[in-house]
Structure 1
Amino acid sequence: MTPARRTDSLEWHDARAVAEAAASALGTETVALDESIGRVLSHGLRALTDVPHYASSAMDGWAVTGAGPWQLVDGPVLGPGLAAVIVTGGVIPVGTDAVLRSESGTVRAGRLESVSATGEPHPGQHLRAAGGEARLGELVVSATTLLNPAHVALAAGCGHDAIGVIRRPRVSVLLTGDEVDERGIPSPGRVRDSFGPQLPTVLRMLGAEVVSRRRIPDEFDATVAALRDSPGLAEVIVTTGGTGSSAVDHLRPALHALGAEFLVSRIAMRPGGPTMLARLPDGRLLLGLPGNPLAAMMGLLTIGMPLLAAFQGQISEVGRVASAAALEGRAGTSILVPFRLQQQQAVATPWLGSGMMRGLADSAGVLVVPPQGVRAGEVVDTLTLPWV
């Protein structure tokens, strides 16, 4: 008989909703353009000038007025029958009708003639009008946009030197595990640290500012002290390990001792079911991740991602993809399965153990297999990987 999920476990979608509702957008700060990529825009970005801010040439060649041939002159103003040499981006002389490309004209004895088979130039051809991309005061990037390099280049072109962004959530990382080795090959009974080298970076990929990282012993008093004394400026504490209910798992008893409110006690999913979210009396949130690497990553993607997104005024969307094959479900539980894409369909990895990272390391995302399972070709929810 397949066991039902624990009564204190939240359904997968419900757990995400709770995490998203637990946070709201933080305050704003102003950063230099080169520091704004990957940040969330706090207010709509408007052009501080016309873009381009002057009429310019789109080609190397000649600015011309009237019908050819044209007499070459040198000056800021053109009259009928006159032309002036111009380069791409050059200021268009007053009175210019069009630009004749360098490959479409020839000069003899100071006179320019068109040799274009298409009758070039046509009126307005190869001219970039002032304000052709944006007008002064026009909204060019909407608020809450996640800024990419093109946004930042646009901001610079619109006259900005700095951008207002939503402040990143500050995160304190607590790593547990007395049996963990941070270097080399561990002996039997010990394990290699798989969180220290990557978890802070993944949190940064999700928009967090990691303000501290420390390892604590697997002891109740040490756990209580670490939670109580964790840097007060952090909005979120992320812990690894100790989320179970055994005699050596101290996180839940420590949270109870501190008077924390459990928002998500467990999640009806595998791997990563013991993932938890709690609020300490001072308002800080604690995201407790299981000690097995894949289980921890599933917990982070399931509720850590929407939580950190909400702090930045964002919504963490769930993707959709068709499964290439039928996948068995488990009563009362969602099964999270890393997958590769093959002909636009998801092919599940064979490495599904809670401690296995091989499947996730080469995956395109994570399938969320519902309790009833998945038929071949059926479209199901997916989790996006922040590094894909």
Structure 2
Amino acid sequence: MTRSSWSDARRIAHAAGVEQRSQVVDSVELITALGHVLAAPLVSPIAIPHYASSAMDGWAVAGAGPWELVRGAAAERARSVGLEVGTAVEVLTGGLIPTGAVAVLQREHGVVEETADALRLGLSPQAPRDEPAAGRHIRNAGTESPAGTILLDQGTRLGPVHLAVAAGGGFDRVPVVPRPKVRLVLTGDEVVTSGVPGAGFVRDSFGPSLPGVIASLGGVVTSSVRVRDDASATAEALGTTTLGTTALTEPPARRAGEVIVTTGGTGGSRADHVRALLRDAGAEFLVDGVEVRPGGPALLARLPDGRLVVGLPGNPLAALLSVLTLVQPLLAGQQGLGLPPLRPVVLASPVDPTRSETVLRPYRAVLDADSAAVTAEPSPWHGAAMLRGLADADGVLVHPGTGAAAGTVVPSLDLPW
């Protein structure tokens, strides 16, 4: 087994995803679009805001004051045909500004007095001397975006605020990239799915976590099966029972685009069957181990029918960090996104050398008292089976296995969840 460098493994996984990128564009309702990636730019058909509106509760005024305050039917007419000079009409925040209005006098700065023949609006004693200046508290049409503006770029992963922007542009549906479909195959005789595990057993941490992790990467888990450390059962779960056999006389039907993610079974013990089964099925190993700790046994293979298989280690931290190494770049490529970027951080404490080319280690962002700069504090819980550090993390350090001193700038990955 020739292991790939961590950087190469990410690059290979991303390229494999790009190869399988779907050219299909789905149109989904805005309310269900959360987490999807836009397949095309979202161009606003309207100006935003699409009418002149008030930024304050108060009165729309025409000309210099004091003003005659119109109400009732006269106010409705003024809102539809416009204000005459010397008049005012009440407006609420977001309300339509009638034509002819030059400003909005906010409620705190106005006083209404009743005279024998009309209501008069004037300035309160507390009002600023320049109140109301021309255009004050009026949001003109198109202030945020003229019609024809690109509101959201192609490739945007839609979060809650993006959906609000799309709604503001009048969209009911948006064009999106189909979400990658992922099957989970969870292995291990020692895994229990409920209660407190006894000696020699461990609680399942992948069943509750991986669907959410996959969703944070834009994918969707279509099925999840759990198998014992048995070669036949694992082959059946992988769907490799007929691949690579002499009985197979025709190339298998192409199923490119499907991703299988396995947990455990990637080592070399008698209980580990994933690698051997993939080889028997004629799989091409794109990544056959990674020069990284934790997560060295992780793999990426392509089956003869085009399906991609990501084999994650069985230890929880090693597996979830291997998701960042292989699954995140793969799904990003399938969705037309770039390789997730690294960003530099400054170490708050040193990291020791280890026997690996690259080390992945959760960190917390902390404020340095002397410099007032934010630095990265490596987690003390970074063993392959420890999840506490990742649960508490702001990101993941990608530091060299030779170690690094405090104050060193090292690359890091943001957490996608």
| TM band (smaller chain) | over 0.9
CA deviations on 1:11-41 (whole Å, 9 max, x unpaired) are 1111111111111243321111121222211
For the 8 Å contact 2:362–2:378, the answer to whether it is kept is yes
Residue in structure 1 matching 2:319, options 284, 296, 299: 296
In the other structure, the counterpart of 1:3 is: none
1:143 match: secondary structure: coil
CA deviations on 1:160-195 (whole Å, 9 max, x unpaired) are 111111111000000111221111222322222221
**Residue 256 (str. 1) matches residue 256 (str. 2):** no
For the 8 Å contact 1:302–1:383, the answer to whether it is kept is no
In the other structure, the counterpart of 1:384 is: 414
Matched-pair identity in %: 48
For the 8 Å contact 1:224–1:258, the answer to whether it is kept is no
Distance change in 2, residues 1:15/1:124 (3 Å): same
**Residue 85 (str. 1) matches residue 108 (str. 2):** no
In the other structure, the counterpart of 1:348 is: 378
For the 8 Å contact 1:329–1:335, the answer to whether it is kept is no
In the other structure, the counterpart of 1:113 is: 122
Bigger drift between 127-136 and 168-177 goes to 127-136
**Residue 144 (str. 1) matches residue 155 (str. 2):** yes
**Residue 235 (str. 1) matches residue 258 (str. 2):** yes
- Matched residue type, 2:45: L
For the 8 Å contact 1:329–1:369, the answer to whether it is kept is no
Structure 2 residue ranges without an equivalent (≥5): 242-254, 368-373
1:184 match: secondary structure: coil
Post-superposition, which runs of at least 4 consecutive aligned residues in structure 1 deviate over 4 A? none
Q: Distance in 2 between matches of 1:220 and 1:294?
A: 25
| CA drift at 1:248 | 2.0
Structure 1 residue ranges without an equivalent (≥5): 1-6
For the 8 Å contact 2:355–2:401, the answer to whether it is kept is yes
Distance change in 2, residues 1:229/1:246 (3 Å): closer
In the other structure, the counterpart of 2:229 is: 218
Q: Normalization by structure 1: what TM-score?
A: 0.93
| Structure-to-structure mapping, 1:185-224, within 5 angstroms | 185-224=196-235
| CA drift at 1:247 | 2.2
**Residue 39 (str. 1) matches residue 36 (str. 2):** yes
Distance change in 2, residues 1:92/1:185 (3 Å): closer
Q: Distance in 1 between matches of 2:294 and 2:412?
A: 15
**Residue 12 (str. 1) matches residue 6 (str. 2):** yes
In the other structure, the counterpart of 1:339 is: 363
In the other structure, the counterpart of 1:61 is: 58
In the other structure, the counterpart of 2:387 is: 357
Root mean square deviation of aligned Cα: 2.0
For the 8 Å contact 2:58–2:104, the answer to whether it is kept is yes
Q: Normalization by structure 2: what TM-score?
A: 0.86
| CA drift at 1:260 | 0.6
**Residue 100 (str. 1) matches residue 97 (str. 2):** no
